[in-house]
Structures are given as C-alpha cells and as structure tokens.
Amino acid sequence: MVDIVDSATRSRMMSGIRGRNTKPEILIRSLLHGQGFRFRLDARDLPGRPDIVLPRYRAVVLVHGCFWHGHDCARGARVPKANRDYWVAKVARNRARDTAAREALVKAGWRVETVWECEMKDMATLEARARLWLVSAP
C-alpha cells in the first residue's frame, strides 16, 4: 500500500511523536493521582527513566505504546510495509532496552509494573489493578 502523504509530510508527522506526556501516560497519572497516590515523573536517576515513580512504595510504572514496544496485541503485532526491516529492528531494540531496564530496576530493589496502551480501554480494571498492586507493597 502506498502512503497517502509525501515523505516530507510523513517525516514531520513522525517528528511530532513524543516520548513524554503522552495521552496514555496522562491517563495513568490521572488515575493514580485520583486514588491519592503521589509520584515523580521521568526519573533520570533510575535505569530506563521510568515514566512514573512512586518512591513511597518503591515502585515504578512503565507506560508502553503497543506499536513502539512490540506488544502481542493487534496494534503491537502490526509492522509497517514500508521499510519493514528498519521497523522490525527498531522494535527489537526497544524490547531489548525495556528488558534491560526492567532487570536493572528489579535488581536495584524497585517493583516494576508495565501498563500497555491497549489495556487502557478498560479503566475500571486498570484502576483496581493499580490499587491492588500498590497497596500490596511491602
């Protein structure tokens, strides 16, 4: 399938995609804040720079986009037809980086929870999961 926009427009569109303050991150932050949990954002001093850090619970939340981090859902399994080799390698690098960061965080004594973009369709379940995960902290 041919792209519906020219390469300059596509490049501009892709450059607008940011890694911080994404809609999924803001949703999770609102959910946690509404439940009374307080947190820090994008902790540069922790491995992998977790999206949300809850120091009181020694916990971090990683908010992953399904496409960018290679989730096994429909959106994550989709690989663009154009420049396929690049995208397969890119997602593989992202997954390897995610695994290394997660292992380093666990080794440093942090509890790690990953929330996928596709899981945000059911906010009630996500809210219960967050409460259970954080309240069960040692």
Calculate the dihedral angle through the C-alpha atoms of 83, 89, 90, 93, rounding to the nearest 10 degrees: 180
Q: Which domains does the chain have, with CATH numbers?
A: 20-135 (3.40.960.10)
Are 54 and 38 a contacting pair, CB within 8 Å? yes
pLDDT score recorded for residue 102 = 96
3-class DSSP state for residue 40? strand
For the chain, the average pLDDT equals 87
Are 82 and 3 a contacting pair, CB within 8 Å? yes
CA 115 distance to own-chain centroid: 6
Mean pLDDT (whole number) for 50-59: 92
pLDDT score recorded for residue 2 = 63
pTM: 0.81
